Each structure stands twice: as structure tokens, then as C-alpha cells.
Amino acid sequence: MTRILVLHGPNLGLLGTREPGIYGRLTLADIDRQLRELAATLRVEVNCFQSDVEGELVSRIGKSRGVYDGLILNPGAYTHTSIALRDALQAVETPCVEVHLSNTAARETFRHHSFTAAACIGQIMGFGAASYALALTGLVEYLSRKREP
């Protein structure tokens, strides 16, 4: 069975109450539940992890090699600061989709650059919680095409 690791970065544990005009009213538990439901219909396994600590996210990426077929990463604010996350993604060579609830390109200038995007196969942003579903669907499609002869 295809296994996908979903990593949620800093402050995403505050979803539902954190700036709902930008991030919506769904909690992280709601998003994880929706992902597991979608994963079941796609016949893949999804495991979710959230941390506010950059090193914990880096460690999870490092331990994903050979265990997971793909990654979905919402690096949160680390998007704009973390060379360590980018290096980890490049080191494991596990296909990754970067996700953002908001359209970071339409927000403050400092949010326009992503250090992690170049180490990913794609980036989805601006669709709220649906960004995760789009990422999962796209990643599963990518992995199935990659396995075809």
C-alpha cells in the first residue's frame, strides 16, 4: 500500500482559532480526518504529524526514506526561513508536495519566497483546507504514473 506522510509546521495546531479569515475555521484534527477519509477512497495510507519545532520536522523527513512513498509538507513560516527543511527534502529524495492554506504570493512580501518549494515536485496554495486534498490527490496520481512501466 502507498504510504504518505503529512507534516504540518508551526502554529498549524492553532487552526480553527488562528486568524480564521485567512486560515479558515477547520481545526488541524478536522483536516487530518478529511485526509484520512480521502486516503481511504484513494487506497493509500496517510500518517499526520504536527510540530512547532523545526528540528522535529527535519527528523521526520529524514526518517521517511524507505518508509513513505511520498510527503505532503506545510512548512508554515519555515517556508520562508528553513534551509534545513529544504536540505532534508533533497537528501531523502522522497517526492513531496508543499501545501499552504493561504495564497502566500498574495500576502506580505516576506512570504513570497519559499526555500522548500524547489525541493518539491509541486506546490499547492490558496484553497484553504482543500489544498491538502488537492496535494494528496496530485501526489497519489504522480506516484501511480511513476510506477507505470
**What are 30's three cell numbers?**
478536522
Residue of 23, 68, 78, 132 marked active site = 23
Distances (CA, A) of 44 to 37, 57, 61: 10, 22, 19
For residues 113 and 4, what is the distance between their CA atoms, to the nearest angstrom? 26
How far apart are alpha carbons 128 and 115 in whole angstroms?
A: 21
Q: Give bridge partners of residue 125 from the DSSP assignment.
A: 100
In the chain the beta strands, taken as DSSP E runs, fall at: 2-8, 44-50, 70-74, 96-100, 122-125
Query: Has 23 been annotated as catalytic?
Result: yes
Catalytic residue among 8, 68, 78, 100: 100
Annotation marks residue 112 as catalytic: no
Indicate which residues carry an active-site annotation.
23, 100
